[in-house]
Amino acid sequence: MNISAQDWLDRARALGTPLIDDNTATFVWHGEDPPILRGDWNDWDEGSPLPWQRAKGARGKPATGPVWTATLELAADAYMEYCFGTDDERVDDPFNPRRVSNGMGKTNHWFYMPQGEPTPLARRQRGVPKGEIIRRGLELGVDYSITHSCYNPTPDGLACAKCDSCLLRKQGFGEAGIEDPTKYAEI
């Protein structure tokens, strides 16, 4: 594919990133030094990030500064999370507003490939009490002592007991009449 730097930039601004073409996802970065790019595809390994390639300019249509691309092939139904940077220093993807908590106090960007969609198992049906969901999880063998839902855990990994997720979790265990195995920070 022979696409100019400005064309990559224009597409990223118009469509968001990564840019999906068939089974490829192309990330776009605009600036001098592209950040480390890692995610589900490389087990979040900072030592083996997805490599960036500097996009070439086009005659008569110069890019406004360096433009970089990084492309990978994925399954047509893949769901991926990724970040720009290290665990200590992250940079937002300016072309992807989709973010999700990573459960460790940071956020990841995410995307679906063309045939990907949320699993119905993860979709909570409206009107189903949280306590019923917890009871059903126990029937299916879920070990809630190893699950985590806090949006703002303490540095030593305790649930904050204050965020919406902690409050809903506590409410659900209360509704189910089951002891909550979550280790909460003292309020």
d(CA 93, CA 114): 20
Mean pLDDT over residues 41-63, rounded?
Answer: 80
What domains appear along the chain, each with residue ranges and CATH number? 5-112 (2.60.40.10), 124-176 (no CATH)
- Tokens 């879920």 map to which residue? 142
Mean pLDDT over residues 157-181, rounded?
Answer: 89
pLDDT attached to residue 80: 93
52, 69 in Cβ contact below 8 A?
yes
pLDDT attached to residue 61: 55
Q: Quick one: what percent of the chain has pLDDT higher than 70?
A: 91
Mean pLDDT over residues 74-93, rounded?
Answer: 90
pLDDT attached to residue 152: 81
Q: Which residue has the higher pLDDT, 68 or 164?
A: 68
Mean pLDDT over residues 152-168, rounded?
Answer: 86
Mean pLDDT over residues 115-143, rounded?
Answer: 80
- pTM for this one? 0.65
pLDDT attached to residue 52: 95
pLDDT class of 63 with cuts at 50, 70, 90: low
What is the tens place of the pLDDT at every residue in 71-80?
999 999 999 9
Instruction: Indicate the angle between helix axes 130-139 and 164-176, nearest 10 degrees.
Output: 70
Q: Is the pLDDT of residue 59 over 70?
A: no
DSSP the chain: ----HHHHHHHHHHH-SSEEETTEEEEEEESSSPPPEEEGGGTT-TTSPPPPEEPPPBTTB--SS-EEEEEEE--TT-EEEEEEE-SSSEE--TT---EEE-SSS-EEEEEE-TT----GGGPPPTT--HHHHHHHHHHTT--GGG----SS--TTS-B-S-SHHHHHHHHHHHHHT------BPP-
d(CA 6, CA 67): 8
Q: Which residue has the higher pLDDT, 187 or 165?
A: 165
pLDDT attached to residue 62: 53
